[in-house]
Every structure is written in structure tokens, then in C-alpha cells.
Structure 1
Amino acid sequence: MGSTDLIAAIATPPGRGGIGVVRVSGKNLSSLAVRLIGHIPKPRHASLSRFLDEDGSVIDQGIALYFPAPHSYTGEDVLELQGHGGPAVMNLLLSRCLSAGARLAQPGEFTLRAFLNGKLDLAQAESVADVIDASTSEAARCAMRSLQGEFSTVIHSLVQALTDLRMLVEATLDFPEEETTVLKQANVCGRLEAMQSRLEDVLTSAKQGSLLREGVSVVLVGQPNVGKSSLMNQLAGEETAIVTEIPGTTRDAIREMVEIEGVPFYLTDTAGLRETDDPVEKIGIARARSVIEKADLALLLIDCRLGTVSDDRAIVDSLPAELPVIHVYNKIDLLDGIPQISDGEDGSLIYLSAKTGAGIDLLRRKLLEMAGWQPHSEAEGIFMARHRHMEALTEAGEYLRNATELARQETQLDLLAEELRAAQRRLSSITGEFSADDLLGQIFSRFCIGK
């Protein structure tokens, strides 16, 4: 991606709206601004302007905002044109920017330039996309914490502690006869153990943030007419799936996002798993199998009046061995039963009524527990984390454990120094201090155009 030429893009979602925004970024935007609106707007002030075509005709009238470098989102000159939000108007205005010397921005290129110009570190830049993509209010708040630099601050403090320790150890390499004395006086083992403890806390918080970002994929399985669709509707709080007394009503997978304490659970109601000659139902069952293969958790619904029968056991045997399963005994209202939860040989057992809602709260709490969620007050201490962050934190922890063992042995300080260096490098990769170009391309290519 180029970093010196002018780039432009529509920064608002496609479709019709009251306001649409075209954003331009680059060096020396003054001449382009004059060609587009006839003047250079006063920095950081809203200016009512006419947006001009090449022949001087008016494309639209709206607000122009000018942010001279370095006081802008990208760190370059930025011009934002806020006009009427119709697709035709926005496309005309974007085309005018391109004819005036800009090129179409690639996905994530505005934020990439903010990163390259030191306005954001890599973890903050990724949080921009996480704020946009947040599916729950808790996830949005968590992403904003990371965007404001709270995650990066913690990582920087760990990196600084490692840097200080590396300086001590590497300086000691020049005086091998004093190695043991220096290690003890500097309490290297104690400092390493404190770092490991802090890193574990950060990893725990990151795992919670990862849950908020990724959510949990839950698939509802069971024989036909055991109440999967009713349970789906009860958890979703609305009639998303058709419910009838006819077995095999659900022919295709129905997906719905449910928020439980801020954690997004992606529920998929599948066709009842059974042998059938119905060609349409066969397709639905095949799709159900495909969904099951990708799920994080399964809810196996069982008619409590019948208990677990051979067909239910056959369904369990057909599930992936590593897939956690909650056994949900439904229709307790037909037996005047009471909601309850217990743990059996096959896992967690929950007795409820999808029709009346009795026991649904027990199921919600169990879903959170199995997802690994630990309640926090307004996501306090939780950082929005991605898979690469988790890998970096985990690997850094392994390097620290190796370093602690070497420090206890009080020998091979060269290997100790290398473990510390590797841990520092992995942590620094989170904020982008050590990042390969291909990693940057992969990260920013997933952004929307205009951001």
C-alpha cells in the first residue's frame, strides 16, 4: 500500500441515508480542496461548501472539514466532505475526488496510515475494526478500552520490565565470575515470577475479551419434535423459528445471535437428526451436520417424558468427540416437573420447559460457565483480543517459564538472555513494534473501505 499519494473513499455505509461522507487523505491537500470546494477550509471548523464538478457545476452542498497534518486521524492532511447520503451523490463526489488526483483507498488504508504515522499502535488499530464490528454493547465498550490504549499500556509495561531485566542479564555476561551474586542481588527469579503472574492476569483478561469479540457458536441438536425451535425462540426472545407439532418442520439451519451478559452466543437451530426418505429433509440434515462440525458447544434436546433413548445416544455418538454437550431435558411442564441442573457421567443435565420458559435462566448461566465467561463490572480489566494476541501472550509465557528455570539453576546466562529476548519480541509484536509486512497486509485487508 502506498503511503505518499492521495487516497479517497466513501466512509459511510452503502445505501441511502441523511448524510454521507467522502474522506480524502494525503500530503498537501490544499490544491485538491480548492478544485473541489473553491477554497481551503479553516482547519478543524465546519465549513458550508458547494462540492464542484470539473466544469464548475455543483454536485452537492454540504459540510467540509479540513484537518492539516499531523493533527488528523491518519497523521496526514485529511479532508472530509459531508453531503446528502444518496448512493448517486456519493459516487459522483467520490469520482470527482479521483479525477482531481486521488486514488481509491484500499480496505483499511486510512487506519494503516494512522499506524505507520504513529497515531495508533497495531493493537489500537485492530480495535478500530473491533469497535465497528462489535455485536454487543459489552463488546463495544471493551473494544473502545483497547482503542484508547489500555491494552497497549499493559503490554508496554511488561515489555519495559523485560527490557530492564535483559539489560541486567546481558551486562552480567561480561563478568561470568559474578553471575550468581548478581542474579541473587537483583532478585531475578522473583522478578520473573512476578512477570509470569502479571502475564497470566493479562491472558485471562484477553481470553474474556476474545469471547466478547468472537462469541460462542452453539448448535441445537436432537430428534424431531423435541422442542429445538421452541428453545431457540425462548432464548432469542422472539419467534425466529417456526414451531408446529409436525416432526421435521425445521428443514434448514436457522441462526440467531443471543446476548447473555454481554457475550454473543450464535445459536443455530438445525433439522431433527433422523433417518428419512424426504429429499428436502435430507438436505436439511446434511446442513445440520456441517454446522455441528464448526460449533463450539452443542445443546442436545431430549423429551423428558421418554428420557434418553437409543436414538439420542446415536446422536451423541455422531457428534465430534471434542464437542462439549449440554443435555437439555425439555417439556417438564407436561410432567409438572421443576427446573433443575445436575452433572452426570455424560456431562451437564438441565431440566426445563422451552414452552413456559421455566429453567431458561439455568441454561443461560450454564452457557456462560461452559464458555469460560467470568462476570466483570462493565468489562473492567477486559481487553479486546484477537487470536494472534492470544498466541503471542501464550508463547511469551512459555519463554518466561523457561527463563525462570534457567535463573533458578544459576547457569547458562546466555540462554537466559535469549529466552528473555524472545519473550520481549513476542509481546512487542502485539503492539506492532516487531511486525512483518505480510502480517500488516493481512490485518488491514479485513477492514472496510473508507476506514
Structure 2
Amino acid sequence: MLYYPDSIAAIATAPGRGGVGVIRVSGKNIAPLIAGLVGRDLLPRHAHFARFRAADGSVLDEGLALYFPAPHSFTGEDVLELQGHGGPVVMKMLLARCVELGARHAEPGEFTKRAFLNGKLDLAQAEAVADLIDAQSEAAARSALKSLDGAFSREIHALVDGLINLRMLVEATLDFPEEEIDFLEAADAHGQLTGLQAQLSRVLDTATQGKLLREGMHVVLIGQPNVGKSSLMNALAGEEVAIVTEIAGTTRDTVRELILLDGVPVHVIDTAGLRETEDRVEQIGIERTWRAVEKADLALLLLDSREGVTAHDEAILARLPHGLPVLHVYNKIDLTGENPGRIGMGELHVSAQSGAGLPQLRECLLERVGWHGADEGTFIARERHLDAIRRAAVHLGTALSAYRQIEIMAEELRLAQNVLGEITGEFTPDDLLGVIFSRFCIGK
């Protein structure tokens, strides 16, 4: 258990007015702070009504005080929670009193960081705390809760255990090369290695779904003026979020809206029509369009179904970043009488006006980013987790290719184990920990 010499304090509830506000304090010995604020001992894990007092004995607020002695607390240290009235001024007064009694202001994520360093959570679980708070859909919240409960960590630990067993066999062969018994063949090391590869592939697939639930995808609507980008934006959002007129160039800036498709957050970005113009304001909007395109996961090129792909559309396609997936959406079929839905690979007929073809468009959006649905086993994940799993897969592949080259195989298995250990925090550099926890909100 890692104890810090200082105590930290923070307001743990959201900023603003509320019925209840919570101050959280964590440290090695917070008895003097309890005495100064409450004036009496507190039974562990009991809620006590108390008046919270200033240095001169006057009452700052009244509410509930709860004491959680180490190591049976969230951080593994002594923890005090003061539940008072949720006014911003009252909360600031109580926090100032805690600092006056020896605590210091907590840094973002410092409570959860202490929980991690004190062995109460591993790193994947610690990150899930922030992901649960930031969840943008019910599916994302459920998956974050699974990660917090250790579902993701258990998958990683199972892989690491398998690697450790395999490393024992390989390194035994290194230690006893003169033995006639072939350790690797007898223990089916080749089968174990291919089994670990398959297991890692399944975890990568589940983690990819979890990353989509956490981060979603960014879809940018591009095309010439007046092809119906803003109308499609409104149709997807289910409300009038963008101005629609028959005047070309109405949209002069990017308009962003978050929609949920099967629990996946989809950030839809409506952009200025791409054309040559002398209007300086419209030029700025077009420049912002291209910047949005550079950051997008998918581009929807809107086309007027009456005209098809024009030379101007070809010029737009030629300028798109290499590798950016593009979906051709032929709009205004309510004017042409064409059937809605898919017409080819990466092409659809829709009517933003009537809504025809929109269900198929939503399906295509999810397919393009590899979504195939969340299930009871889906856990939340981040890009750093996926990167670690991919690197581990490379090491396993190299180990399989070097089968019988025992020294190389042993080293690749060791590297794969270390890479997977980055996910749960066994082999995580301090600078990475600083980045991860700095993105938490204060009070967590």
C-alpha cells in the first residue's frame, strides 16, 4: 500500500447549484481534519448528522459526514465525505476550511490515481471511472461499468496467464537443451500459441466495439451547394439544427450534431457547400469544411440524383485525404421517383425531404466503421488499449514465425506480455499515467 504524506480535498459534485453538494477528502491521517470540522469522532461507514464549523466555531453548513478508514475506502487511504447543501458558495467555504485544516486542493483525477497506485483498481478500471462519467449512451455506460467491474482486465489477465505458461515451457527448453524430451512438442506449445492468437483476436474485436461506444465516429457531409446536406443533417438529427433554404451558400460554417445509432455516438458535421466563390465569409466556411474533412472517420458525398456525379464532384473526390472512406449519397429521389436504399457498393438513394432510404443510410454508417452490435460481453476501451493489443498480436505472430528459434520466440513472448501489461498498468510509464489521470474531472 502506497501512502502519501499529504491529504487532498475537492468538491466531488458537478459545478453549479444543487440540492446536495459533496466534499471529498483523502489522506494518511485525517483525524485532525475531522475534529476541526465536525468536533467529534465518527464511526466507520456510518452517516452522521453534523454541523460543519469554521475556525471560530461558527457553523458553515450542516449535513452528513461519513468516514471510511484505510484500507477500506475508494483510495485505500482514510476518506472523509461531507454531504452538505449544494450551493457553490457553501461548497467553496467548506473546501477552504478543509485546506485551512491541512489538506490541499486535489489535482484532476488524483483520487482515482491514488486508488490505482494503492492497488484498489488497475489502470483499465481506473480509466473506466472517467468513461462511465463521460458515457454518451446507455450502451456506453453499461460497457464502462463492465470495465470498472473488471471484465476487460480479466480478459487481459487470462491472456497474460497463458503467455506466462507458454514462456515457462520455452525457457525450460532454453535451460535444458540437452534433454531428449521435446518440451514444446509434448506440451503442444504450437497449439497454445495459435490459441493465444485466436483469443487475442477476439479481445481485439470486443475492444474495437467498446472504443466505438466510447468515442463514436465523426461523419462529415460534403458536396456542392444546394444538394441537401443541411436537410439530411436535420433528418438524421430528428430536429431543425441547420438552416435550410433554396439559396446556395446558406450554410457558411460547420454545424455539428450528436446522434446515437444503436448506442454508438455519431458526430455529424454539416459543412459549407464546396464551390468557387468571391464571398470572403463563405470562403472561410469552405476552409473550415476541408479542416473538418481531415479529421473525419467517414465522408458522405451528397449528390443531386437528377445530375449524378459531375466534374465538380470528381474534383471534390480528388481532394479528399487518401484512405478516407466515402459514401455516395444520391439525394432528392422524391423528385426523380427512384427507389430508396442501396444501389451499389458504397452508394445509396435517399430523400432527406421524405425520409426514404434513411434507415439503410444509418445501417451503412455503422457498417463502415466496423460496428456489429454490443452484447453482454462488450466492455469499454480506448485507442491506447487497441494499440497495445495490436502490438501484442505482432509479437505473437513473430513468435509463431520463429517457432523452434527458441531465443527469438522467448523474447517475443516476453514483449507480448509486457505490452498487455500496459493495459492494466503493470508496465506503464509514469508519464503515461500523468496524461491519463490529468483528463479526469476534479473530485475523481
Q: TM-score, normalised by structure 2?
A: 0.97
Q: Which moved more, 1:386-395 or 1:212-221?
A: 386-395
| Rounded Cα–Cα distance in structure 1 between residues aligned with 2:307 and 2:408 | 63
**Can you give the 5+ residue segments of structure 1 that lack an aligned partner in the other structure?**
none
| 1:402 alignment partner in structure 2 | 398
The offset of 1:112, in angstroms, is 0.5
Which amino acid is 2:417 matched to?
Q
Partners of 2:4 and 2:28 within 8 A in 1: no
Give the partner amino acid of 1:261: D
Provide the secondary structure at the position in 2 that maps to 1:264. strand
Q: Work out the CA distance in 1 between the residues paired with 2:3 and 2:30.
A: 16
Per-residue deviation, 1:191: 0.6
For the 8 Å contact 1:330–1:351, the answer to whether it is kept is: yes
- What SS class does the counterpart of residue 46 from structure 2 fall into? coil
Alpha-carbon contact 1:173-1:414 (below 8 Å) kept: yes
Secondary structure of 2:335's match? helix
Q: Deviations over 1:398-447 (max 9, x none)?
A: 1111222222xx3x322221111111111111111111111111111111
Kindly indicate whether residue 371 of structure 2 is the aligned counterpart of residue 370 of structure 1: no
- Residues 180 and 332 (structure 1), Cα distance of their counterparts in 2 relative to 1, 3 Å cut: farther
44-53 or 111-120, larger mean C-alpha shift: 44-53
Per-residue Cα deviation, 1:30-76 (whole angstroms, up to 9, x for no partner): 11111011122222122111111111111111111111111111011
Tell which deviates more after alignment, 422-431 or 175-184: 175-184
Does the Cα contact within 8 Å between 1:25 and 1:79 map onto a contact in 2?
Answer: yes
AA at the equivalent of 2:379: F
Taking the TM superposition and a 5 Å limit, the aligned residue runs for 1:225-244 are: 225-244=226-245
The residue aligned with 1:192 is 193
| 1:416 aligned partner, one-letter code | M
Instruction: Give the Cα–Cα distance (whole angstroms) in 1 for the partners of residues 3 and 295 of structure 2.
Output: 38
Asked if structure 2 preserves the Cα contact closer than 8 Å seen for 1:37 and 1:49, the reply is yes
What is the DSSP-based 3-state SS (H/G/I as helix, E as strand, rest coil) of the residue aligned with 2:334?
A: helix
Match of 2:246 in 1: 245
What does residue 329 of structure 2 align with? 328
Counterpart Cα distance in 1 of 2:406 and 2:180: 8
1:88 maps to 89
Amino acid at match of 1:168: L
SS in structure 1 at match of 2:179: helix
Moved more, 113-122 or 169-178: 169-178
Amino acid at match of 2:349: Y
Does the CA-based 8 Å contact 1:233-1:239 persist in structure 2?
A: yes
Picking from 332, 352, 355, the partner of 1:354 is 352
Q: CA deviation at 1:8?
A: 0.2
* Structure 1 counterpart of 2:184: 183
- Aligned residues between the structures: 443
1:385 pairs with 372, 381, 384, which one? 381
Normalising by structure 1, we get a TM-score of: 0.96
Aligned amino acid, residue 383 of structure 1: F
Specify the alignment match of 1:431 in structure 2: 424
CA change 1:275–1:179 in 2 (3 A) is farther
CA distance in 1, matches of 2:145, 2:272: 39
Counterparts of 1:137-156 in structure 2, within 5 Å, are 137-156=138-157
For the structure 1 residues 202 and 42, does the alpha-carbon distance in structure 2 shift closer, same or farther, using more than 3 Å as the test?
same
Q: How does 1:163-174 map to 2 (within 5 A)?
A: 163-174=164-175
Root-mean-square deviation over aligned CA pairs: 1.4
Amino acid at match of 2:427: F
User: Take 1:403 and 1:336, find their aligned partners in 2: how far apart are those partners?
Assistant: 58
1:117-154 Cα offsets, whole Å, 9 max, x none, are 11000110011111111111111111111110011011
Which residues of 2 match residues 234-383 of structure 1 at below 5 A? 234-343=235-344, 348-376=346-374, 379-383=375-379
Which residue does the alignment assign to 1:440?
433
The secondary structure found in structure 2 opposite 1:178 is: coil
Contact 2:3 2:77 in 1 (8 A): no
Asked if structure 2 preserves the Cα contact closer than 8 Å seen for 1:223 and 1:272, the reply is: yes
Kept in 1: contact 2:209–2:373 (CA 8 A): no
Q: Would you say the 8 A contact 1:172–1:179 is kept in 2? A: no
Sequence identity, in percent?
A: 61
Corresponding residue for 1:27?
Answer: 28
Give the secondary structure class of the aligned counterpart of 1:177: coil
Where do 1:217-232 residues align within 5 Å?
217-232=218-233
Structure 2: where are the runs of 5+ without partners?
Answer: none
Residue identity opposite 1:440 in structure 2: L
